[in-house]
Each structure stands twice: as C-alpha cells, then as structure tokens.
Amino acid sequence: MRHHFKSGLTLSAAILAVLSPSAQAQAPVSDPQGSGPIVAALDWLQGSLLGNVATTAAVIAVAAVGFMMLTGRLNWRYGITVVVGCFILFGATSIVAGIRAAAGG
C-alpha cells in the first residue's frame, strides 16, 4: 500500500502529529546508574562513524559513484541514493536535534 502526499509540509505535519503526543508524555530521562561504559562506547562509535575515516570513505564513495554515473555504468537513481545517504549520515545530529526541538524536548 503506497501513500502519496501532495507536499513535504503535509508529510511533516503527519510525522509531527504522530510523534508529538508520545514525546510530550515522556519526561526527560537522564542516564541510569552504571551506564557510563555503554555511553562511552556509543560516543566512541559515533566519533568513529562521523570522524576522519568516515569522511574519507564518503568522499571516495561519492567520487566513485559520480564517475560511474558519468560514464553510464550506474543508474542515476542508485547514485543519488548514495549521496542522500551520506547527507543523512553526516546530518544525523542536526536531524535528531530538529526533531527533539519540534517535539518540545
């Protein structure tokens, strides 16, 4: 079943309508006791995924995909998906911050 939205505003309003009641019902929660090592491990993982190695890999991936698209060996749709994926990966922090601000958290 496929849903078609007329505009991005309608999609955004639908997402916020679904997320807002559940986000308002939850009180801000701090890290539980003993979660320090887990938080540290996740911080390390985030640093690795968004650090110099990830940036270099993304640049190589976009360059390779761009070259393949220009030479006609790769479908444009797949190439654009790779580029959008890189934007989502590196913009994840801003995306989550925007969602939390819209939810009032």
Give the pLDDT score at 11. 46
Give the pLDDT score at 93. 85
Q: What is the pLDDT along the chain (105 residues), one digit of tens a residue?
A: 445 444 444 444 444 444 444 444 454 567 778 788 888 998 888 888 788 888 898 899 999 998 998 998 988 888 889 889 888 888 888 998 999 899 886
Give the pLDDT score at 30. 72
Question: Mind spelling out the 3-state secondary structure of the chain?
Answer: CCCCCCCHHHHHHHHHHHHHHHHHHCCCCCCCCCCHHHHHHHHHHHHHHHCHHHHHHHHHHHHHHHHHHHCCCCCHHHHHHHHHHHHHHHCHHHHHHHHHHHCCC
